[in-house]
Structure 1
Amino acid sequence: MNKGLGRAAAVAGIIGAIFTATAGVCAFAGDLDKIENIVVLYAENRSFDNLYGAFPGANGLANVSAEAAKQADRDGSPLPRLPPIWGGLTAPGASPVVTEAQTRHMPNAPFALDDPKGLDTPLSVATIDLVHRFYQNQMQINGGKNDRFVAYGDTGALVMGHYDGSKLPLWKVAQRYALADNFFMAAFGGSFVNHFYLACACEPEYPNADQSPAKGLISAVEPDGTSLSLVSNSPGSALEGVPKFVNDGTITPGPRFYAVNTMQPPYQPSRVKPARGGDPAYADPGAAFTLPPQTEPTIGGLLSAKGVTWAWYAGAWKAALADSEGAVKNPAIRFQTHHQPYNYFAPMAPGTAARAEHLRDGGLNGAEFIKAIDAGALPQVSFYKPQGSLNEHPGYAEVLSGDEHLAEIVAHLEKSPQWGHMVVIVTYDENGGFWDHVPPPKGDRWGPGTRIPALIISPFAKKGHVDHTLYDTTSILRFITRRFDLPVLSGLSERDAAMAGWGEKLGDLTPSLDLTSP
């Protein structure tokens, strides 16, 4: 969160704001001690409307008018139609191929990507990737109007696409348990920063970035602090092409510098190779895209201090440690180094006991994680990140395979010896650039961003329930904090204080549970 808020600021005022913000959302009847295991399954890049916009009882596409869904051009005027999907819809190597020409003259409205009478691109076909970055997300949200997703995207019409999610196995799981339809990604932008929020509820910092190898990565931002500066010859209309920015970087302007778009871990596996003659377990610290080791407290560190067991299971972690470049490029793996948040933190540096204990191999296709599930050997808190080919990220993965994989994981969890006292949360790191019609709540400088799906799966989950409680990704940390009586991360307190000023309240997932029965 914004360290510039000052952690020495009026403690009594912050605590009062927190109590105000959380009053009513934390009231809960039941015994949380019944929950012995918490499992978080973390997928990629889907807005709620993109997959669950037609879910019965949810706030979906049926609840938005045609007028409210219309996208505006960069000058604020309504677009007469959607621009084409620049470069074509389908990712390289995907079949069937949908060309740019086939996407021209589409109405200014949401559309079904898998409509047989339309683009006929099923859930099993990978689309091209969409821009999903810190400043663009704020420009697209446009103060809550959600009407500039096309204008400040880079794929034309694709941002308005959605699927018939009822064909997905996790849809059927959601029907049996609880689906949260008011759950937002914690931070504006992409995967990198939202993984940090799952670990620490904090924004990664790059001290003195203006005097570092990363100085060229500092974004050029307008005085409003939320918009990128456009070059003079940037297309004036979304119908003419994608916007062009002075410097769409990875770091905010100073005086304190924060990494808001993808940077690489300081430890291997990393997309940055070791320095020549340097430690092969480290990324080159002199490379522009290497983020310095982070030192903010994490939920993992708080769990360890309390004696609560935990682990981050990364699909194909062992393969990536052995050959990072090969695991990244292999289309059957597509390992993503920036999806491993604890690999950025100094307490998890190579050679530490904490790294050996908590950063575990999920195995190829999740095989090692499944073994731990079946053996009843999961720690008290587990995070599972699928390998890239199974994470549903546009550009290199499609929805169906990843959804089937997570449904398989859930099926194993339901048969696990630990199932009787377990809560499983399935969610997505961020929206991947896809439009959603629900405006995010007003928070702080960093978020919340666009709405995403979240499932709460447990013997204690309310069955067939759609939970309308306001949540964001940090609600998972709130739930873990409450269950194990941990100190509250400063980022959680700061967000609560910011949202209290707007009269908003973030829940901790307990409204989806019923622990009153024996």
Structure 2
Amino acid sequence: MGKRGIEVVCLSLALVAVFLLAACGVKEQVVQEARWSDAKDKRVSNLPAGAAKIEHVVIITQENHSFDNYFGTFPGANGIPMKDGTPTPCIPDPDSKRCERPFYNSSAENYGGPHDESGAKVAIDGGKMDGFLQMERAGRNKSCGTDKQPNPDCSPAGEKGAEPDVMGYRDRRTIPNYWRYAEEYVLQDRFFASMAAASVPNNLARVSGWSATCSSSNPMSCRNDLDPYGGYAAVPVPRSDSAWTDITDLLHENDVSWAYYVETGPNGTPPSRNPLPYFTTVKENGQLGNIQDVARFHENAKNGRLPAVSWVMSGPKNSEHPPASIQDGQAFVTRAVNSVMQGRNWENTVIFLTWDEWGGFYDHVPPEKVDENGYGIRVPGLVISPYAKRGYIDSQTLTSDAYLKFIEDRLLDSQRLDPATMSRPDPRPSIRENAPQLGDITQAFDFNQKPRPPLVLPERPSSR
């Protein structure tokens, strides 16, 4: 009997089990918890002793801010002025023919600049990191679209008549909770966007390690593409289904629970932040029901019913994507973190917090070249866990590929999104989790320390 035939028989038996449990008054949630209780005893591969204490992985992703924009002045981090004492850079302005230096921006509003594939190339400028103002000026004559169809090749400041803020930075006064997390847990100051492009390819890569366009449901029909949704960060429906293999397929094959929690609003959640419904694997595996409203995340977190892997994505209003308020975004993240900390799963959970790409904002660290897709410009990364080192700055080269690798090593016996071993091979250009440049994210943990108590913060803190 083939693999899919075996799956059908197993599914039938599982349905009978669910029916019998329901007849006894046991809810389906208990079945999900039982499945995870089996999965959590899997061998922990390629991880340090004590890593089995982590039973739940929560990945929170916000949008469009560089590391220097949020943590450029954080003590001890590689920011502005630079760690080695290099003076604050001055970036050429093609309009004034002068140059501009980073400045403190106290506003909760933010605009940024173009942040697509071409914008990344100009901003990076072969490693000089001096093209940010050039891209902002170039994007001033292009419409930024709407929340439903934002255009990453534009400058929101240009539409609103505001001064460019791409050289601006924030600190404790404007994002106090983010800084508090960095002080109490782990700040990663060499964390890059996985793809040198906009939100869509980075959010695709976060769940699959790749960004592509496919001509059919056959994964071998997929071709590398850093603009898979056709020029806009969100469209009513992507041009084609994502037929390549994503991490949820490996989780499904190994009977490991997962959920993708998205915040919906009046216009729904743009596909750029909710890509999994368009993955062939999710449909074929009957797991569209694993994509849920973020309200369910808060409920599950507080009741100690988190799946093994959770992704948490805000909607446009709370995403921090320009021109959304960064304080609204910080409140969204704080509430999500608080829900985990106030629930029964806190002592065996890690929260990975990052931003999908740089949003056009200045950063001075040139990204490493790992393949034709990236890495992209540096973004903030934080690790929050009872076992996270306190006040630690991790300066290894990292991306969201490290999240996939941690999930694979902790829950999947070190399986990889590797065409040579996957049941659904695809022609991806590289196995990102195996890149020699990628650091070891477990350096953020001290599994010998006593689990640290929760740090519950106000959603709307006063600045200090």
Match of 2:287 among 354, 366, 383: 354
What is the letter of the counterpart of residue 516 of structure 1? N
Give the Cα separation in 1 of the matches to 2:173 and 2:385. Answer: 21
Residue 197 (structure 2) pairs with residue 260 (structure 1)? no
Change (3 A) 1:166 1:130: same
Aligned to 1:509: 441
What fraction of aligned residue pairs are identical, expressed as a percent?
29
**What is the SS of the residue equivalent to 1:360?**
strand
The letter for the 1-side match of 2:441 is L
Alignment root-mean-square deviation, CA? 2.8
For the 8 Å contact 1:41–1:383, the answer to whether it is kept is yes
Task: Return the TM-score normalized by structure 1.
Answer: 0.65
The secondary structure found in structure 1 opposite 2:369 is: coil
Summarize the alignment of residues 293-304 of structure 1 with structure 2, pairs less than 5 Å apart: 293-304=241-252
SS at 2:114's partner residue?
Answer: coil
Contact 2:191–2:381 (CA<8 Å) still a contact in 1? yes
The answer as to 2:175 corresponding to 1:164 is no
1:182 alignment partner, one of 190, 210, 222: 190
1:366-515 matched pairs, under 5 angstroms: 367-395=295-323, 397-484=324-411, 485-490=413-418, 494-495=431-432, 500=436, 505-515=437-447
CA distance in 1, matches of 2:340, 2:120: 35
Work out the CA distance in 2 between the residues paired with 1:307 and 1:410: 26
8 Å Cα contact 1:190/1:430 also seen in 2: yes
CA contact (8 A) 1:58 1:181 kept: yes
Partner of 1:345: 279
- TM-score, scaled to structure 2: 0.72
Report if aligned partners of 1:201, 1:492 keep a CA contact under 8 Å in 2: no
State the SS of the aligned residue for 1:423. strand
In structure 1, what is the equivalent of residue 12 of structure 2?
A: none
2:148 corresponds in structure 1 to: none
- In the TM superposition, what is the alpha-carbon distance from 1:66 to its structure 2 partner? 7.5
Which deviates the most, 380-389 or 484-493?
A: 484-493
How far apart, CA to CA, are the structure 1 residues paired with 2:429 and 2:135? 30
Please state if 1:148 is matched with 2:131.
Answer: yes
Q: Which of 88, 91, 98 is equivalent to 1:81?
A: 98
User: Is the 1:71–1:79 contact (alpha carbons within 8 Å) kept by the matching residues of 2?
Assistant: no
Contact 2:46 2:409 (8 Å CA) reproduced = no
Deviations 1:64-108 (A, max 9, x none): 77877222467xxx97425xxxxxxxxxxxxxxxxxxxxxxxxx2
- 1:52 aligns to 2:44 (yes or no): no
Change (3 A) 1:69 1:27: farther
Cα separation, 1, equivalents of 2:182 and 2:86: 27
Question: Which AA in structure 1 matches 2:303?
Answer: A
Contact 2:300 2:306 in 1 (8 A): yes
1:139 positional shift: 1.9
Cα distance change of structure 1 residues 439 and 165 upon mapping to structure 2, 3 Å threshold: farther
Alignment partners' CA distance in 1, 2:321 and 2:345: 30
Counterparts of 1:238-317 in structure 2, within 5 Å, are 258-261=224-227, 263=229, 271-272=235-236, 283=237, 290-316=238-264
* Compared CA separation, residues 202 and 453, structure 1 to 2 (3 A): same
Distance between the aligned counterparts of 1:306 and 1:492, measured in 2? Answer: 25
CA contact (8 A) 2:304 2:345 kept: yes
- 1:144 touches 1:440 (CA, 8 Å); kept in 2? yes
Q: Identify if the C-alpha distance between structure 1 residues 359 and 68 changes in structure 2 by more than 3 Å, giving closer, same or farther.
A: same
Q: Residue 111 of structure 1 is aligned with which of 75, 78, 103?
A: 103
Distance 1:165 1:130 in 2: 23
1:129 to partner: Cα distance:
5.1
Change (3 A) 1:40 1:58: same
Instruction: Give unmatched runs, 5+ long, in structure 1.
Output: 1-25, 83-107, 115-121, 209-254, 265-269, 273-282, 284-289, 320-325, 329-334
For residues 454 and 341 of structure 1, the distance between their equivalents in structure 2, rounded to whole angstroms, comes to 21
Following superposition, the deviation at residue 191 of structure 1 comes to 0.6
Cross-structure match for 1:251: none
2:433, 2:402 → 1: CA distance? 11
User: For residue 439 of structure 2, what is the amino acid of its counterpart?
Assistant: G
Distance across 2 between alignment mates of 1:149 and 1:404: 28
Amino acid at match of 1:110: P
Cα deviation for residue 385 of structure 1 reads 0.3
Shift of residue 394, structure 1, vs aligned partner: 0.6
Q: Secondary structure of 1:312's match?
A: strand
Displacement after TM superposition at 1:261 (Å): 2.8
Secondary structure at 1:152 match in 2: helix
Q: In structure 1, which of residues 321, 325, 336 is the aligned counterpart of residue 270 of structure 2?
A: 336
When residues 388 and 313 of structure 1 are mapped into structure 2, their CA distance, relative to the original with a 3 A threshold, is same
2:90 paired residue number: 70
* Cα distance in structure 1, aligned partners of 2:87 and 2:174: 28
Report the count of equivalent residues: 364
